[in-house]
């Protein structure tokens, strides 16, 4: 009888941490799943952020992903705030610089997003999405030739990037006929 009580107690100590770990992993995975419903992602990311035992890099990722989900719901101010916190945790986080730049662009604040777009490209010069974001911002600011160059560079890295293909087509169509 004593052995089974000890075994039961031991198993409860072993199971409890592993089930907590599974819940953390499930929340982290859902938080990062950009195909999941935004509300579910926001809730999962918030649980990761609130977990004081979570490593800082994971929390930075959670702020990044929650910001993306908030932007998907149109809450640009909250999204920018989350990206800003992600960058306080991890200052050279190229993806967070890029996403904050994209959110500024989507919010109609391209000028505010340009420094982040430039930083993202500096940190990750071969990231087609960072180049595409900067191209969109350049285009919005009327810097058409720089935008065209970035769209083309993005396509040289990822030939299937639809947004960059569309940008090239849009800019070439807008050029005056020779």
**53 inside domain:** yes
Does 162 share its domain with 138? yes
Given this model, what pLDDT does residue 136 score? 98
Contacts (Cβ under 8 Å, ≥6 apart) of 42: 66, 69, 70, 73
Does 97 share its domain with 87? no
C-alpha pair distances (Å), 88 with each of 57, 91, 93, 119? 11, 6, 9, 15
Given this model, what pLDDT does residue 175 score? 84
pLDDT digits (tens, 9 = 90+) for 144-162: 999 999 999 999 999 999 9
Residues of the chain where predicted confidence (pLDDT) is lower than 70: 1-23, 177-178
Q: Residue length, the chain?
A: 178
pLDDT digits (tens, 9 = 90+) for 110-133: 999 999 999 999 999 999 999 999
Instruction: Write out the residue range of the structural domain in which residue 135 sits.
Output: 93-178
- Which sign does the torsion angle of CA 161, 163, 166, 167 carry? negative
Given this model, what pLDDT does residue 23 score? 53
Given this model, what pLDDT does residue 25 score? 82
Does 32 share its domain with 52? yes
What is the phi-psi region of residue 54: left when phi exceeds 0, alpha when psi lies from -120 to 50, beta otherwise? beta
Model pTM score: 0.85
Question: What is the domain count for the chain?
Answer: 2
Given this model, what pLDDT does residue 176 score? 80
Final residue of a structural domain among 91, 114, 147: 91
Does 33 share its domain with 76? yes
């Amino acid at each position: 009888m004593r052995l089974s009580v000890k075994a039961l107690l031991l198993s409860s100590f072993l199971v409890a941490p592993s089930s907590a770990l599974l819940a953390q992993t499930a929340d982290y995975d859902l938080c990062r799943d950009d195909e999941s419903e935004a509300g579910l992602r926001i809730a999962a990311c918030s649980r990761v952020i609130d977990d004081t035992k979570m490593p800082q890099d994971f929390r930075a990722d959670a702020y990044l992903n929650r910001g993306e989900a908030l932007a998907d719901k149109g809450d640009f101010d909250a999204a920018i705030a989350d990206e800003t916190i992600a960058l306080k945790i991890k200052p050279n986080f190229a993806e967070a610089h890029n996403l904050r730049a994209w959110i500024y662009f989507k919010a109609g604040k391209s000028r505010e997003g340009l420094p982040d777009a430039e930083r993202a490209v500096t940190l990750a010069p071969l990231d087609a999405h960072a180049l595409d974001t900067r191209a969109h911002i350049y285009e919005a600011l009327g810097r058409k030739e720089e935008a065209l160059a970035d769209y083309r560079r993005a396509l040289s890295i990822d030939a299937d990037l639809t947004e960059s293909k569309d940008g090239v087509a849009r800019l070439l169509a807008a050029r005056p006929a020779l």
